[in-house]
């Protein structure tokens, strides 16, 4: 048992970091919306799903079917990330406009918004399974079947840690995710929009009195959170090369868990939560079977919340200081 752990420690760490980074990027959307609106945006899982298809659209349109190198590869990856961000951010903003703002204006309860979120989530899944995938991606009758991405990037070894190879796609995911996190952190802490977000999170009424346009801030929150899910979608697609209409479900639950684990409403908490979740899942799978992954990760969540009810980092968006 211990021997297994020693043998598999480094590969599990690398995989855990890469997958945890994707969790973390999605978790940002949950955490930001919660921080500002005290709302769990359960349709965020579909924002991620649409991000994967947005990214898929780029190689689909160019008809790429063999691995690329150099500038062409970098260009396609960049385009995929941008397309994923556009698709996801657009979806998130539309969700806010259609599913949440009308409820918010009429002062509906948070429970109503939750139902609205679940409804929007099912609507988007079915929309993709029935209309978008068969028509846009030219897969008639195959709306519910997994869609593969041809290999874009060769899986070359970049370097090795104690004899365990680290591949270029894993490094790409980790570096890109951490880069996005740093940029987002700077945005929230250093810019005017970031100040507006923090102000609204602290006290929406006082923020209005201080001249903050709440609707604009909420829209920006959804836009940024959605954009991050789009990056996650593109990175996921590049490394795992498949997606389907229901892919958001498991990712949504895991990312939400990561957000709570790190401290919901806390941006850095999302990063910590995502990475911890990714690592714990992979370490846990070494001891128990891989099918016990979910049990282990949720047990850890319960344990952490028992001793730190506000999550690992605890501190929330409204208390963040520039």
Partner 1 sequence: MALTLGLAACGNGGTEAQSSDGGASDTPAASTVKIGFMGDLTGANAGIVIPPWNGANLVVDEYNKTNPATKIELVKYDSQGDASKAVALAQQAIKNDKVVGLIGPAFSGESAQVAPVLEEAGIPSITASATNTKLAENGWKFWHRVLPNDSVQGPGIADFIAGAAGAKNVFVIDDKSEYGKPLADAVRGQLGTKGVKLTNDSLDPAESDFSSVVNKVVAAKPDAIFFGGYYAAGGNLLKQLRDKGVKDAKFFSGDGSLDKGLIDGAGAQNAEGALVGCPCYIATPDVTDPKVKNFADSYKAKFNADPAIYASEGYDAATVFVEAVKAGNTTTDKINEFIKTVDLAGVSKQVKFGDNGEVVAKDIYIYQVKGGAITLLGKATEAKLG
> To the nearest whole angstrom, how small is the minimum distance from the Cβ of residue 186 to partner 1?
30
> To the nearest whole angstrom, how small is the minimum distance from the Cβ of residue 94 to partner 1?
26
> To the nearest whole angstrom, how small is the minimum distance from the Cβ of residue 270 to partner 1?
19
Q: Which is nearer to partner 1, 230 or 263 (CB)?
A: 230
> To the nearest whole angstrom, how small is the minimum distance from the Cβ of residue 234 to partner 1?
15
CA 255 to mean position of chain CA atoms: 6
> To the nearest whole angstrom, how small is the minimum distance from the Cβ of residue 248 to partner 1?
12
Measured CA to CA, the distance from residue 273 to residue 78 in angstroms comes to: 27
Binding site for partner 1 (CB under 8 A): 4, 7-8, 11-12, 15, 19, 141, 144-146, 148, 150-151, 155, 165, 167, 236, 240-242, 247, 249-250, 281-282, 285-286, 289-291, 293-294
Q: Which is nearer to partner 1, 10 or 185 (CB)?
A: 10
> To the nearest whole angstrom, how small is the minimum distance from the Cβ of residue 250 to partner 1?
6
> To the nearest whole angstrom, how small is the minimum distance from the Cβ of residue 66 to partner 1?
11
Q: Which is nearer to partner 1, 34 or 236 (CB)?
A: 236
At a CB cut-off of 8 Å and minimum separation 6, what does 245 contact? 49, 125, 126, 128, 129, 133, 143, 144
Q: Which is nearer to partner 1, 143 or 265 (CB)?
A: 143
Q: Which is nearer to partner 1, 3 or 69 (CB)?
A: 3
Q: Mutual orientation of helices 70-95 and 44-62 as an angle, nearest 10°?
A: 140
Q: Which is nearer to partner 1, 98 or 295 (CB)?
A: 295
Q: Which is nearer to partner 1, 90 or 134 (CB)?
A: 134
First-residue to last-residue Cα distance in the chain: 47
Q: Which is nearer to partner 1, 4 or 203 (CB)?
A: 4
Q: Which is nearer to partner 1, 233 or 311 (CB)?
A: 233
> To the nearest whole angstrom, how small is the minimum distance from the Cβ of residue 262 to partner 1?
20
Q: What is the 3-state secondary structure (H, E, C) of the chain?
A: CHHHHHHHHHHHHHHHHHHHHHHHHHHHHHHHHHHHHCCCCCCHHHHHHHHHHHHHHHHHHHCCCCCCCHHHHHHHHHHHHHHHHHHHHHHHHHHHHHHHHHHHHCCCCHHHHHHHHHHHHHHHHHHHHHHHHHHHCCCCCCCCCCEECCCCCCCCEEEEECCEEEEHHHHHHHHHHHHHHHHHHHHHHHCHHHHHHHHHHHCHHHHHHCCCCHHHHHHHHHHHHHHHHHHHHHHHHHHHCEECCCCHHHHHHHHHHHHHHHCCCCHHHHHHHHHHHHHHHHHHHHHCCHHHHHHHHHHHHHHHHHHCCCCCCCCCHHHCCC
> To the nearest whole angstrom, how small is the minimum distance from the Cβ of residue 284 to partner 1?
8
């Amino acid at each position: 048992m211990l021997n297994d752990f020693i043998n598999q420690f480094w590969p599990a760490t690398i995989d855990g970091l890469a997958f945890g980074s994707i969790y973390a990027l999605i978790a940002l959307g949950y955490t930001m919306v919660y921080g500002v609106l005290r709302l769990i945006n359960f349709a965020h899982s579909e924002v991620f799903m649409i991000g994967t298809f947005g990214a898929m659209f780029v190689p689909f349109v160019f008809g790429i079917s063999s691995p690329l190198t150099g500038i062409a590869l970098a260009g396609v990856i960049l385009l995929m990330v941008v397309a994923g961000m556009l698709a996801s951010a657009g979806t998130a903003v539309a969700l806010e406009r259609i599913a949440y703002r009308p409820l918010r204006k009429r002062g509906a309860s948070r429970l109503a918004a939750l139902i609205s979120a679940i409804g929007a989530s099912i609507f988007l899944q079915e929309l993709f399974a029935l209309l978008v995938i068969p028509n846009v991606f030219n897969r008639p009758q195959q709306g519910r079947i997994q869609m593969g991405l041809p290999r874009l990037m060769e899986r070359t070894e970049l370097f090795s840690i104690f004899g365990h190879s680290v591949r270029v796609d894993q490094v790409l995911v980790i570096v890109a995710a951490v880069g996005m996190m740093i940029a987002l952190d700077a945005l929230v802490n250093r810019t005017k929009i970031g100040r507006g977000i923090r102000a609204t999170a602290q006290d929406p009424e006082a923020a209005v009195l201080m001249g903050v346009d709440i609707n604009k801030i909420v829209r920006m929150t959804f836009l940024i959170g959605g954009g991050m899910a789009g990056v996650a979608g593109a990175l996921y697609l590049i490394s795992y090369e498949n997606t389907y209409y229901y892919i958001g479900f498991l990712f949504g639950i895991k990312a939400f868990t990561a957000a709570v684990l790190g401290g919901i409403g806390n941006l850095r908490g999302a990063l910590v939560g995502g990475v911890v979740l990714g690592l714990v899942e992979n370490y846990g799978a070494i001891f128990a079977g891989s099918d016990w992954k979910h049990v282990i990760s949720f047990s850890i969540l319960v344990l952490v919340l028992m001793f730190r009810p506000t999550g690992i980092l605890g501190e929330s968006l409204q208390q963040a200081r520039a």
